[in-house]
Amino acid sequence: MGTTAKEEMAHFWEKNTKSNRPLSPHVTIYKWSLPMAMSITHRGTGVALSLGVSLFGLAALLLPEQFPHYLAMVKSLSLGPALIYSAKFALAFPLSYHTWNGVRHLV
């Protein structure tokens, strides 16, 4: 009579535990390279853009006031130029990196 899937799985993990092999693929095996880092950054910026656009759209639907009201509220906070430029960079970097890395990949 054959074994069940649960028994097969237990046998597999028991064999792996005894052999002390690392899980494959394991992150610590690979040497970090520029293409790997660029791929991870591309995926991260894609997720960030997706979340940002989704949250902005949800806010536009649910918040009671129009955009100029919230823009005036941010201006009234009198934030310093360093914080404003940092926020602008945080918004522009994912878009520009994701776009140009996508173009690079297509070329």
For range 58-62, the mean pLDDT: 92
What are the extents of the domains in the chain? 34-106
105 is in an annotated binding site: no
* The domain over range 34-106 is classified in CATH as 3.30.1490.20: no
Do you find a cis peptide bond into 25, omega within 30 degrees of 0? Answer: yes
Q: Which residues contact 49 (CB under 8 A, 6 or more apart)?
A: 94, 95, 98
Instruction: Band the pLDDT of 1: cuts 50, 70, 90.
Output: low
pTM, to two decimals: 0.65
Residues 64-90 pLDDT 10s:
999 899 889 988 998 999 999 999 999
